[in-house]
Chains A and B, each alone.
Chain A
Amino acid sequence: MSEHSRIGVIRDINGPIVTIDLPGIRNGEQVKIGELGLFGEVIALSGQQAIVQTYESTDGVRPGEPAIGLGWPLSVELGPGLLGGIFDGVQRPLEKIALQSGDYIRRGLDVPALDRARTWEFEPNAELELGAQVGPGTVLGTVPETQTITHRVLVPPGVSGELQEIAPAGDYELEATIARVRGAAGQSHRLKLYHRWPVRKPRPYAKRDDGISPLITGQRVIDTFFPQLKGGKGAVPGPFGAGKTVVQQQIARWSNADIVIYVGCGERGNELVDVLETFPQLDDPYTGRKLMERTLLVANTSNMPVVAREASVYVGMTMAEYYRDMGYDVVMLADSTSRWAEALREVSGRLGQMPVEEGYPAYLASRLAAVYERAGRVQTHGAGSGSVTLIGAVSPPGGDFSEPVTSHTKDIIETFWALSKELADARHYPSIDWVTSFSAHVHTAAQWWAAEVDRGWERRRGEALALLARDAELSRIVNLVGPEALSSAQRWELEGAALIKEAVLQQSALDEVDTFCSPQKQFALLDLALGIYDMGAALVGMGVPVQELQGLPLLAKTRRCKSMYSSEQLEKIAELRADVEQEFENIRLEYARQGEHAQ
């Protein structure tokens, strides 16, 4: 309890919403509720009374019990030791909680996020000299947080002045002083390896930049068709079972981000366990180190208290911004933002606020926009450029995309990966629907692809989408009047589209080889499928029957190619391509000869 704390009295308990009498308490202030000391936060004031949302179940709490105002807003600890961990919606370390309270989460536990007993190997920044002017974001030194991630120890926001003292290289605990700074007004700041930051306040940066390079996820339908940029904001809406969580987990596994923050917000406990159990075993395809070393989990599962769900997204975002400020590219995955919105709805309903659509309060859209706005690529104060990419899953009731959370989200984001129940039911995974999905980043991504992979990328991508669009059109006709109505060329178009779907778009997360696909392999597969279509179209134009082409064993091989050859075996794909070209050339020659005979 700090010197700021004040004691009041509980008046009313209405589920997670508790009314207290505590004159002078501030909006947003943290409160400990009742004898159990449950964590809560003031969300409204009215006269002498404050309305508190509680992050834990209020069963057993009585009117008349004390309520203590802690004097600070909901904040998180930021320092080395976050990576590899799993925290609850208010940043309590769940592994440590399990040691203290067993398999079930006891209430009223007050466990700090970062381990105070652990020491870290601090290496001061050699370029800093005593007497130098330092400010927010100045790199004081580094700590090897994991084998892959060097933690840059920064001067926290709000502190600037003259560097009076900096600790020499050595092992330090979190609470140790590693630097002293004298502010302009003469006050002395004692800096440690960690600091606290209020989660609802975006962390400052020097300036916002445009995204320039795509976030490579190793998923073809994303990277090749609907690319995301580092620093972009995207949404994955879809009915249950369509594949939202798998998309998010695939990005957590295979994306070329430096840091991944996975926020399980109101979803299944076992999905977090899946990450916890598999990531320590999986290799990061870029560094070769274990994936867990760059990953951090925030878990407020669906059975954990609703109100902490609302906080969990801010808690995750603040940690994401913290690593961004060190100059890292961070990806934050929020599964699911609908549960976050429902927590808002729950609280607003209990407060008796006027609902506008499906029970949601009028401020839903602005809150959503404000969360997504914290994503972006920025110039940090002292560590160059960093980014936070935010990708939110959206869980529309009944899969209806016109509902409030999906429709507001759609207005805010730049990349929309719409999952389709029809595709998922047919086990076409990822079930990202190529008709309704979009990316505002194709042009920017195209420059990267042209420089790094192939100049033909943007054209080939366009051709594939056009073929898929014609396929949709032709399929409608077939369903009205039957396949006989189609010309041979049109039937070959259907075949080409089917090839794109099976050989390129479909990608099983469970396939050991195909779960990750490098950009080079992505382009090779796309170019192979389109190449077959193009060559076939020419033959069909010459009068070769579509059936003859359909039956070619090389088409089956093309469909299997993605799982047969890994991203390191591009030469095999090239061989297959050569075989296909040879085969088509043979058919062409054969046909040309027959044609001559006939004449």
Chain B
Amino acid sequence: MSVKEYRTAAEARGGLLIMRATPGVAFGDRVQIEDHSGTRRNGQVIRSSDEEVLVLVFEGTDDLDLEDTWVRFLDEPVEIALSPELLGRVFNGLGAPRDDRPPILSNIRRAVAGSAINPAARTYPREFIQTGVSTIDGLNSLVRGQKLPIFSGSGLPHNRLAAQIVRQAKLKDEDSSFSIVFAAMGVSYADAKFFQDEFASSGVLRNVVMFINLADDPPVERLTLPRTALTAAEYLAYDLDRHVLVVMTDMTYYAEALREVATAKGDVPARKGYPGYLYSDLAEIYERCGRIHERHGSITMMPVVSMPSDDITHPIPDLTGYITEGQIVLSRELHNQGVYPPVHISPSLSRLMKDGIGKDDTREDHPRVAAQLYALYARALETRNLASIIGADELSERDRRYLKFADAFDERFVGQGEAEDRSIEATLNLAWELMSMFPRDTLTRMSETDLAKHYQGSD
């Protein structure tokens, strides 16, 4: 097979171009389209028979003139060129430069679709990453190779938190930093600029590759963007042995683009108009993260998911939570109270924490401290709720203590400065200070040894 070129398209609608009588075209292949003005667009074959071929056009099908459109089937999958020169550069979702510099030249080209990691080739992630943020390190620890999204809402400081983590993240006893792959889908110019400035001011820019599709760029391109970015991340991790941190924002716009295309294709919707395969599609992206046997590099992922109407049961955060290894959930309530970072610990979770913390990794008491703080805070929130109904004065002395704890916890443990980089020791010590507000016997999740060593209360 070789490149084939056709002059006319049969139909165009909603980002899809339909070609008739173009036999032998491979499913998934790349397509180049030249419109009447001579402008090039890119596409991909998403259904193929001898009678009809369906092409997804990344830049959209607006203004296409069916009579006057050249369509070229390139006989190759959607690929990007890879070389160490990627670092420090900015690209679009297809890997074309966005920074007025020449395209990457390299004979290493890889299909962005990727393929599934053999589970038997994976290594369980277990190296603790200190982010300097207490609610993460202490209660929802991140490990190298984990995918841990930030669930947020419009107007909440997820970008600032993500940037803080990028700045501060390091292995406990190393200061080797990460290479960053930054993937922006459908975000505003201001948001993209925020990250660019952040990387520049913290001096990591030379260690960052950016893939950017802004809110006013063609939405269909958002579908390849995370795949392109992850192909670059895999190259950095497994060819160049780097530890890569992938920040992806905002997965919600990605999923919306997917819905747009699915609707145009006539796919059966499952929930809220999203196609049934949204789960598998997101999994193809998220599961590219991890650790692999005998590979030095790794891919850690921190996607940002904004929850439409702050609803965690919305299909996008919901399906994400079913795939990722936990989630950090931001709360509007805490944000409105002026707490930064407004991490709501109750729905937050790190599933890979168990093997990354404890005696050899952080500190012996860490797992129990986390369990105890969670139990105390859960009870404290119930008490707060009760107080709002019956009034704090009606509470027993025991309950009032929980109330005081809740406030101190929000203010001092959750709240911290944007530039404050707390060591895990500092986080755990702070935890003990707060837990010591309670009588010893309340702390039933702690062992006698823990109490003997760390308890600072009066009884």
Residues on A facing B (Cβ under 8 Å): 11-15, 19, 57-64, 86, 94-95, 97-98, 101-107, 239-241, 264, 266, 268-270, 272-274, 276-277, 299, 301-306, 339, 342, 345-346, 349, 355, 358-359, 395, 397-400, 421, 425-428, 478-484, 502, 508, 510, 551, 553, 555-556, 559-560, 563
Contact = CB atoms under 8 A, between A and B. Distances in A.
Interface stretch (B89-97, B205-213, B290-298): B290-298
A237 to B, nearest CB: 13
Interface in B28-45: 28-29
B125 A302 contact: no
B119 A240 contact: no
B26 A61 contact: yes
A266 B325 contact: no
Contacts, number: 219
A57 B115 contact: yes
A480 B390 CA distance: 8
Given A103-B293, A510-B367, A482 B121 contact: no
Nearest to B352: A270
Contact of A303 (B25, B123, B283, B352): B283
Interface residues of B, number: 83
B124 A240 contact: no
A268 B444 contact: no
B375 A427 contact: yes
B27 A62 contact: yes
B115 A560 contact: no
Interface centre among A60, A395, A400, A502 (most CB of B within 10 A): A60
Given A266-B280, A342-B279, A553 B113 contact: no
A399 B312 CA distance: 10
Contacts of A103: 117-118, 121, 238, 292-293, 295
5 contacts: A62-B26, A268-B323, A299-B119, A359-B268, A553-B441
B23 interface: yes
Contacts of A98: 118, 120-121
B271 interface: yes
B270 A358 contact: yes
Contact of A301 (B275, B287, B442): B287
Nearest to A399: B313
B271 A12 contact: no
A59 B113 contact: yes
B371 interface: yes
B276 A342 contact: yes
Interface in B12-59: 23-29, 46-50
Given A359-B270, A398-B318, A483 B396 contact: yes
A484 B47 CA distance: 68
A159 B288 CA distance: 47
A563 B368 CA distance: 12
Contacts of A59: 26-28, 77, 111, 113
Nearest to B52: A12
Given A15-B46, A397-B318, A426-B346, 9 more contacts: A60-B28, A62-B26, A97-B118, A104-B114, A105-B118, A359-B268, A479-B389, A555-B441, A556-B442
Q: Determine the main DSSP class of A at the interface with B.
A: mixed
Interface centre among B24, B279, B295 (most CB of A within 10 A): B279
Nearest to A104: B115
A244 to B, nearest CB: 10
Contacts of A395: 322
A270 B122 contact: yes
B267 interface: yes
A309 B367 CA distance: 35
Contacts of B47: 12-15
B6 interface: no
Nearest to A10: B49
A398 B313 CA distance: 4
A277 B447 CA distance: 28
B78 to A, nearest CB: 10
B349 interface: yes
Contacts of A563: 447
A301 B119 contact: yes
B325 A63 contact: no
Contact of A426 (B115, B277, B378): B378
Contact of A13 (B48, B325, B385, B442): B48
Contact of B386 (A104, A358, A482): A482
Given A103-B121, A269-B119, A481 B390 contact: yes
Contacts of A346: 276-277, 280
A60 B27 contact: yes
Contacts of B123: 273, 277
B374 interface: yes
B315 interface: yes
Given A240-B318, A345-B270, A62 B115 contact: no
B371 A427 contact: yes
B267 A482 contact: no
B116 A12 contact: no
Contact of B280 (A64, A104, A306): A306
Nearest to B120: A94
Contact of A508 (B119, B121, B371): B371
B116 A304 contact: yes
Given A11-B49, A302-B323, A303-B117, A269 B287 contact: yes
Contacts of B323: 268, 302
Nearest to B441: A556
A57 B276 CA distance: 17
Nearest to B46: A15
Interface centre among B277, B292, B319, B395 (most CB of A within 10 A): B277
A481 B374 CA distance: 27
Among all A-B residue pairs, the 8 with the closest Cβ atoms: A398-B313, A302-B283, A426-B378, A59-B28, A303-B287, A12-B49, A482-B390, A556-B441
A241 B326 CA distance: 7
B218 interface: no
A104 B321 contact: no
A331 B77 CA distance: 43
B269 interface: yes
Contacts of B394: 482-484
B1 interface: yes
A555 B279 CA distance: 46
Interface string B426-459: 0000000000000001101001000000000000
B389 A270 contact: no
B284 interface: yes
Contacts of B23: 63-64
Nearest to A87: B120
Contacts of B49: 11-13, 19, 63
A296 B23 CA distance: 45
B404 interface: no
A592 B119 CA distance: 67
A274 B321 CA distance: 19
Nearest to B268: A349
Contacts of A355: 268
Contacts of A484: 394
B347 interface: yes
Contacts of A339: 279
A95 B122 CA distance: 11
Contacts of A483: 394-396, 399
Interface centre among A62, A241, A400, A551 (most CB of B within 10 A): A62
B124 A303 contact: no
A123 B235 CA distance: 52
Nearest to A563: B447
A11 B50 CA distance: 7
Nearest to B372: A427
B118 A94 contact: yes
A425 B346 contact: yes
